[in-house]
Amino acid sequence: MPLEKATVATIQDLAARYPSKQSAIIPALWAVQHEQGYVTNEAMSEIAQHLELPPSLIEATASFYSLFLTKPEGRHDVVICVNAPCMLRGADEMAAYLGRQLGVRDGATTSDGAITWHSTIECLGACGGAPMMQVDHRFEENLTPERIDAIIERLRKDPLPNPPHKREGEKAAASRMGEGEKAPAPDKGEGVTAKKPARPRAKKTEN
Amino acid sequence: MGIKPLITKDFATENLEQLAVYEKTGGYSGFKKALEMQPDALVELVKASGLRGRGGAGFPTGNKWSFLPKGVYPRYLVCNADESEPGTFKDRYLIEESPHQVLEGILIASYAIGCNLAFIYIRGEYLPQTEALEVAIAEARQAGYLGKNLLGKGYDIDVILHRGAGAYICGEETALLTSLEGYRGEPRLKPPFPAVKGLYGKPTVVNNVETVCNLPAIVLNGAEWFKAIGTPTGAGTRVWCMSGHINRPGNYELENGTPIRELIEEHGGGVWKNRKLKAFQPGGASMMVLLPEHLDVGLDFDAIAKAGSLAGAGAMVVMDETTCMVDAARRYVKFFHHESCGKCTPCREGTFWMANLFDRFEAGEAKPGDIDLLLDIGYNIDGRSFCPLGDASTWFPRSVIKFFRDEFQEHISEKGCPFKKSLQEAVA
């Protein structure tokens, strides 16, 4: 399936932005994954064409990075961390619970196509809110079975695929500066779980 | 000790992520002041302040800047926001709470080294944070902090936000540059150091997010003011990411030299569930374990190194008496195995065999010689790897064997994890 015009335009913009066209490979792969959900050989060839680079170079880069998907997945993407800091706060139990509730093994997609989940040993950067997971790249912290249930219910009902991976920030900036439509600020959107949890701060003491 | 926080001092201000609010707290006045100075004077100022890189290695920032060869242009500044060390989440916090502070620090560093195009390399998992920076960059451009002939001073600067795609190795500065050039994120041989031959073969400085966040305050208040905070060889503060078995996990900015005890017991509220402290790790997955007897060590690069560990990226992972140290080490080793880029054999093969052995301990299949085998593999990785990833993969497991060898023995004699067994018995 050929890339959409908008994606091609993004790739061409990227190529012009960097001092070297090759630097545009990773952002171009993101643009493709944003449009198609995953990155096919065909799409990589098209990136190669627009960047005037050999297709093998695109695949060599793409295959190194774990976030680029090579096959279609569920509408939503759930990743739960089981590295040591999360393990200490019960991540194994939460991962097992998540798997049981979804009814599919680690790495698989639910039969309704709503959710693909997997556990990861790669720290996701929320050890202070462990156990945690990322849902479509958004943080869900301090997990309990009840919170997991609520998240699953929300995702199953949500008919749209992953929220757009790009451009949300720019829209929010435009709206704050009084241009364009009102767009929600990033990561502060709707839903019970999207609220930013209050973080403890270092106590201010004066000697 | 304990002073007013330095880089997180305004984080209680609502909507600090917005440019207008950030400016009200004094934001961008550091950059404006910097533009009045000669770039060389700025480098000398940061050198004199004693600021050391907050990414992990603790290298003096001003010195790093001064290594750029004279007269070679273009030069690049790359802000390393590829925070992926298990246990760290401070860069994420600094970006979320005050993206403009990060940007202001980048602008100051860029001006000091004579760079007209800076990059922020942010890890792919940090999507909301990428968006926060996108907004900040758009606002700063609109307000004239980015662009051509800034504030009429004839200085041009632009910033490109570059999102990675899931590779811990890209936090290592040469791997980061390789990745930014569009290749697989494999490290490069040093020397030449990035200061001489970095991004696109040009002189390049790579600075961590927390490092650049210190720059506005240093420019505004001077080197002497900064030097007076912290310890003689560790000026300033650090943001410590506290996690694990602690009552109040989170980020805490403390003056360097503050005793670890104060961080854990006072700010973190002590070990959770009224349990006893068994061990802690002051620097993320890579760093050696420390024991309760080390609680009075100061939070400082040199003091922690003297105690036998490393401050690294500023994580404090707390483990209580119920922790299986073998399992904790197993997770970290599996992490390093997963993240090894495969370029060099000691790391690629060594982390694989260490992970295999740890799985054997966990499954109750370990044999009596396996503890020494682990040490032997560790010995053959450390100092023989191409980059620090391989070396660091051995530090925590080897320190755990040193202090908790009996737990490995028990895994062999009881044919499995004694902690999980006692847990099952307690439940039954």
Amino acid B425: pLDDT: 61
Backbone angles phi, psi at B214, to 5 degrees: -80, -20
Nearest to A124 among B125, B331, B334 (CB): B125
Structural domain contains residue A57: yes
Asked if the C-beta of A32 comes within 8 angstroms of chain B's C-beta atoms, the answer is: no
Whether B80 shows a pLDDT value over 60: the answer reads: yes
Q: Do A177 and B142 touch (CB under 8 A)?
A: yes
In the numeric block, which tokens belong to residue B357? 């052995």
Q: Is the whole-model pTM more than 0.90? A: yes
Taking 50 as the threshold, does the pLDDT of residue A195 lie above it? no
Which pLDDT score, from 0 to 100, does residue B152 have? 87
Q: What band does A183 get if pLDDT is binned at 50, 70 and 90?
A: very low
Which chain A positions have a beta carbon within 8 Å of B124's beta carbon?
65, 67
User: Is pLDDT at B1 greater than 70 in this prediction?
Assistant: no
Same structural domain for residues A109 and A151?
yes
Q: Which residues pair with A140 in a beta bridge?
A: A133
Cβ neighbours of residue A162 closer than 8 Å, sequence gap 6 or more: A37, A75, A76, A77, A136, A137
Q: Which of B135, B323, B334 is the closest to A121 by Cβ?
A: B334
Does B353 contact chain A (CB < 8 Å)?
A: no
| B102 has pLDDT over 90 | yes
Compare all CA atoms of chain B with the CA of A26 and give the residue at the minimum distance: B182
pLDDT digits (tens, 9 = 90+) for B237-268: 999 999 999 999 999 999 999 999 999 999 99
Mean pLDDT of B105-123: 98
Task: Look at residues A32, A62, A92 and tell me which one is the last residue of a structural domain.
Answer: A62
**Which among A63, A79, A86, A121 is the top mutation candidate for probing chain B, defined by the most B β-carbons within 10 Å of its own β-carbon?**
A121
Residue listed under structure tokens 């900015």: B253
Checking if the pLDDT of B316 tops 90, the result is yes
**DSSP secondary structure of B257-291:** T-BHHIIIIIIS-SBGGGPPEEEEETTSTTSPPB-
pLDDT at A198 over 80: no
In a shared domain, residues A115 and A152: yes
- Pair (A46, A81) in one structural domain: no
- Predicted confidence (pLDDT) per residue in B169-204, tens digit: 999 999 999 999 999 999 999 999 999 999 999 999
Beta bridge partners of B120: B79, B161
Average pLDDT over residues B228-234: 95
CATH topology of domain B325-427: de novo design (two linked rop proteins) (1.20.1440)
In this structure, of A182-186, B34-38, B114-118, B336-340, the range with the lowest mean pLDDT score is: A182-186
Asked if residue A183 belongs to a domain, the reply is no
- B5, B12, B244: residue with CB nearest A88: B244
Contact of B301 with chain A, judged by CB distance below 8 Å, is answered with: no
Q: Domain boundaries in chain B?
A: 19-228, 231-320, 325-427
| CB–CB contact A123 B244 (8 Å) | no
Q: Are strands B204-208 and B158-163 parallel, antiparallel or unpaired?
A: unpaired
pLDDT at A191 over 50: no
Q: Do B184 and A64 touch (CB under 8 A)?
A: yes
Stretch A63-83: mean pLDDT, rounded?
94
Residue B153 binned pLDDT confidence (cut-offs 50, 70, 90): confident
In a domain, A118, yes or no: yes
**pLDDT recorded at residue B151:** 83
Residue A31 lies in a domain: yes
Which chain A residues in 89-148 lie under 8 Å from chain B, judged by CB atoms?
89, 121-130, 134, 137-139
**Cα within 13 Å of Cα(B208), Cβ side:** 30
Q: ipTM of this model?
A: 0.94
**What letter would DSSP give residue A90?**
T
**A206 has pLDDT over 60:** no
3-state secondary structure (DSSP) of residue B182: coil
Phi, psi of A115 (to 5 degrees): -135, 130
- Minimal Cα–Cα distance from A4 to chain B, Å? 22
Show contacts of B32-38: CB within 8 Å, 24+ apart: B32/B151, B33/B219, B33/B220, B34/B107, B34/B108, B34/B111, B34/B112, B34/B219, B35/B111, B35/B150, B35/B151, B35/B153, B35/B155, B37/B219
Per the CB < 8 Å rule, is A134 touching B331?
A: no
Q: How far is CA B209 from the centre of its chain?
A: 9
Determine, for residues B243 and A201 on separate chains, whether the beta-carbon distance falls below 8 Å: no
- A207 in a structural domain: no
Pick the CATH number of B231-320 from 3.40.50.970, 3.40.50.300, 3.40.630.40, 3.10.20.600: 3.10.20.600
Question: How many domains does the structure of chain A reveal?
Answer: 2
CATH of residue A125: 3.40.30.10
Locate the DSSP E strands across B194-256: 204-208, 230-231, 234-235, 237-244, 250-255
Q: Is the pLDDT of residue B421 over 90?
A: no
B207-232 average pLDDT score: 97
Q: What is the CATH number of the domain that holds A54?
A: 1.10.10
Region of B87 (left: φ > 0; alpha: ψ -120 to 50; beta: rest) is left
Is A26 contained in some domain? yes
Confidence grade of residue B422 (pLDDT, cut at 50, 70, 90)? low
User: A121, A141, A157: which is the final residue of a domain?
Assistant: A157
Sequence-ordered list of residues with C-beta below 8 angstroms from that of B394, at least 6 positions apart, any chain: B350, B354, B377, B378, B379, B381, B382
Q: What percent of chain B has pLDDT over 70?
A: 98
**Across B279-306, average pLDDT:** 95
Are A80 and A36 part of one and the same domain? no
Cα B198 to chain centroid distance, Å, stands at 20
Which CATH architecture describes the domain B19-228? 3-Layer(aba) Sandwich (3.40)
Is it the case that residue B428 has pLDDT exceeding 70?
Answer: no
Residue A80 and residue A53 share a domain? no
| Residue A127 placed within a domain | yes
Residues spanned by the domain of A36: 5-62
**Mean pLDDT value across chain A:** 83
In tens, the pLDDT along A87-104 reads: 999 999 999 999 999 999
pLDDT for residue A163 is more than 90: no
